[in-house]
Structure formats: structure tokens, C-alpha cells
Amino acid sequence: MNKKYLTLTIITVFFLFSSCKEDSFEILAPNVKVISNAEIRELDFIKKYLIEGADKQTILKKRSFAYSQSQNPNSALYKYRDIYAQMEDDKDKKREIEREIEKQKRQKINFKGVNSKIEIKNNTKEIIENSILTVIFNFNFNNKQFNYLKSYNLLNNETWKSNETLKININDITTIAIGNNKLLAIHTPKSVKAEYYITAKNSVGYSNLEKNSKGLRQSNYFNNRELNYGKLTDKELTQNEIKGLGEKIYQQDITLDWNDVKNQNNKKINIKNINHLSTQPSDFVNTQIYIIQNEIEIAVSNDFELRDENSDVGKTMNSFRNGYNKTNSNKIGKSDLVFQPTGTNINKPDAVSDVTRMTIAFFNIDDDKFPKWNKDLSSQKSNEINDLFKNITIKSLKEMPFFTKLITWNEIDPGNINNQTFFKISYIYEINNKNAYSESYQFFNTNQKVIISLTTDYPCKDKWKKIFDESLETFKFKNKK
């Protein structure tokens, strides 16, 4: 076995290594989707909006009424223009006509927005008495950016206990956001990103806000109408305003859904191509399906994100790997896919400090040298094979650029998942005086091999192994040989 493949299971811990730390508030099951007309018009507050309007004040001003014959005779404005002109002194009648015109205009609105069903767990040891969730949608156009913002009071005089999970279902209708002015209906954004922030306080001194910072509501960032309908602005948030958002708990790119709402249901979508990678929605809760070269498929929890090669961590790891390989004979390999705690790509501190990695390496050779996908491997287990893997691991650990040594080696364990047989390798090792855990599964398919690995700080083992095991249960070869 080429030892560079084995290093795939351990190299990801060599850039950073620190204790596993849970977020104060953790997203458990995010389900974020773009919604449009039919779904939105069934919402109670939209039904009320269609009848009453967004503004109690007169929206149509006198100067809006022109008497040009070029006006569309089918428009409500044209229909009432002569009556309106005759009612200069009858304010009540004028207001009644204005309301009718505005009502007819609202009935023709093309609504668009985002439905967010999320579960948030309180990982603090505190009972929370006040908590605000702020939603931001960043619309990036070629030359300008706009932010939609809206905040929600999560507790309404109730309390949020430690380890308790809140289930939230909110609808942000950007069409009626104050400041929209048809901007999002006319122009197609280059990218759309949804972000979710949370502030939390109690009366005995706990607050997740930085010292001397205020939440956006407390700093009067929103006026009353903006609190009700959301705010669309091209002004960047100041540093104090960003601090007032609290802790970022989730982020998701919704560009595809936003720009192609009509075709999003039950459709296979290609989000990005990396080594012939495609993704599609999963039937499993809180997961995404990844397909490599149309040969293998696996569902991965949204607690993991695919590493962005252009992120700070991605660039640093690539630079480290390239520099190391130039001067060392024991080369560091690179997996087809590297998954990391969600938030690492955007340098979220708690995510970056957790060096857990799930990697997938796919090998496709010309000769049929590997076992069949369902061959019983129990007969292949032997002391010789076990010692071979163990010695390769020990040698690889010693040759790595950081101090590492093997602590506990578990014997190679053959098994099967969905009738697909595998060899499992797992061990505990020490790196910079801290214990870490590595586990990998090798699947075979005649001329194909897949190595799926997990490396994590040992105190984090139980948390991440559960998520890792759930992904393993979904793995399959698409073309069994």
C-alpha cells in the first residue's frame, strides 16, 4: 500500500490543533429555501398586507395623477383619475379611492422571500431571558451590494433553558422590505448569501454581546416599519453594528434557489464542479448528497462544510502541503474532498479552533486488482496485514513535521455497510502533547477504492463520530462491479 494514501487520514490535524469547543448556540437542523407567490400569499401576515397595505399613510400623492392620454386605460390610476380630480375638497373620498388603487396594486405583486426552519440549541450553562435572532440576506451584484435585515424576538417573556432547543419557522418576504423599491424584482444578483445571528442575555449578568455593544434593536437601527417588514439597504454595517448582531450561528449560499425558484423542487442541481463533483438535496434531515465522478455517492451532515480552496484555511493548507512536499520524500497526499466544521471557510472562531476533518479519497485504476464490492473480507484479516498497516502508520507519524506518536492501535476490523465490505482502521495518537483520534474505512469495487476518514481531537470523538457514522450508512458505489 502506498503510504501517501494513509497520510490522508492524519495530515489534516497538522495545521491547527486545539481543544474542541461547542458553539454557545448551535444550529441543529437548518432548512432554508426560497419561496415565491403561491406559498407566500397563503401566509397570514401577507393576507393582511394585501388588504391593509404596508403603510398607514397615503402612499399615492396628488402629483402621481397625470391626465395624459398615453396612460394605460386598464390601470387603476387611469380608472379613478377623473373621479379623483373632482374630489379635491372631499378628503375622505380621496383617501377611499387611494386605498382602492393601492389594494389593486398589491394584488398584482410578485412576491419572493425565504422560509427558514431552524432548530437552535442553547449550549451555554445559562437560562436565557432575552434573545434576538437577526437574519441577513446579502445580495451581491457586479458593482454593488445590498443587505436585507430583519430581527426577531425569540422568547417573548419566556425563558430558554440550558441544552433546550428552540424550533423556529420564519418567513422573510423581501418584496415588501422597506427600501426594496422593486430592486430585487428587476435585477438578478450574482450571489445571495443567508446569515443568521443571535444575541442572548439574562438578568444575572450573562450576555454574548461584546462589552459596551448594543443589539441592533437597542441601538434603534430599525424603525417600527422596518421591524415589521424588514430593511433593504446598500449601507455597510459599521463595526459596532456588526458587534450588535451577536454570534453568527449559520450561513448558507442560496444563489441557485434565488435565481431559479420555479425549478428548484425535486431537481438535481450542480452547485460546483470539483473533481467531477456534483451535489443534490438529500431525503435525510440536515444533510447534502455528494457525488464524485458519478461513481460514488454519500450524504454528509450540514454540520460539515466542503472546504473552499480559496478560503484562508484552504490557502494555508495548500501552501503548507506544497512547501513540505518540495523538501520531503514522504509526500503529503490530498483528498478529493475535505469536510470541516461549518463556519471554517468564513473564519468563525469556534469552527476554526475545531480541527475535525472528514476526508474522502477516490481511486480509479485500469486493472481489476481490488476485491469486488461485496466480497467477504474477514478471511483477509491476518496478523501480517494488521502489522503492515500498523507499521506504516507509525512510520508516517514519525516522519510528519510535528511531534506525533501512536498511543493505541485497534486491530484492523473488516465489516460491511449496505452489503459493501470494508476494512476499518482506527487508532489514538498524540500530537503536541494532546491526544487525537483517527478512523478510516476502505471500500473496494474491483478497479476502484474509496477511503473515508475522520480525524478529530479525542475529547470531540463522540460528537463527530456519531455524525461520521451516519454519513457512512449512506455511502454507496453507483456502479457495482
Tell me, yes or no, if the pTM score tops 0.85.
no
User: Please, are residues 412 and 424 in contact by the beta-carbon 8 Å criterion?
Assistant: yes
396-411: pLDDT as tens digits:
888 776 778 899 999 9
β-strand 25-27 against 420-431: which pairing, if any?
A: unpaired
Residue 267 CB: number of other CB atoms within 10 A? 11
Share of the chain above pLDDT 70, in %: 73
Does the structure show a pLDDT above 70 at 279?
Answer: no
- Identify the CATH assignment for 29-38+111-253 out of 2.40.128, 3.30.420, 1.10.472, 2.60.40: 2.60.40
pLDDT band at 5 (very low <50, low <70, confident <90, very high): very low
149-158: pLDDT as tens digits:
999 999 988 9
Of 2-6, 41-45, 262-266, which has the strongest mean pLDDT?
Answer: 41-45
pLDDT value of position 46: 80
User: Please, are residues 222 and 193 in contact by the beta-carbon 8 Å criterion?
Assistant: no
CATH 2.60.40 placement within the chain: 29-38+111-253
pLDDT value of position 206: 93
- What are the residues whose beta carbons fall under 8 Å from the beta carbon of 101, sequence distance 6 or more? 60, 76, 77, 80
pLDDT value of position 340: 93
Residue 202 CB: number of other CB atoms within 10 A? 16
337-392: pLDDT as tens digits:
889 999 888 888 888 889 899 999 888 888 888 899 989 888 877 888 888 889 88
Please, which residues bridge with residue 338 across strands? Answer: 359
Q: Which of 214-218, 228-232, 439-443 has the weakest average pLDDT?
A: 214-218
Alpha helices (H) along 230-363: 239-243, 255-259, 312-327, 349-352
pLDDT value of position 335: 52
172-204: pLDDT as tens digits:
999 889 988 778 888 889 889 999 999 999 999
Residue that wins the pLDDT comparison between 128 and 214: 128
230-257: pLDDT as tens digits:
999 999 888 888 888 998 888 888 887 8
Q: Which helix (H) or strand (E) holds 87?
A: none
User: Please, are residues 374 and 418 in contact by the beta-carbon 8 Å criterion?
Assistant: no
pLDDT value of position 101: 57
Diameter of the chain by CA atoms?
A: 101
Rg (CA), the chain: 28
Grid cell digits, residue 98:
387611494
Mean pLDDT, residues 297-318 taken together: 83
Assigned CATH topology for domain 3-21+262-477: Protein Transport Mog1p; Chain A (3.40.1000)
Phi, psi of 440 (to 5 degrees): -140, 150
CATH 3.40.1000.10 placement within the chain: 3-21+262-477
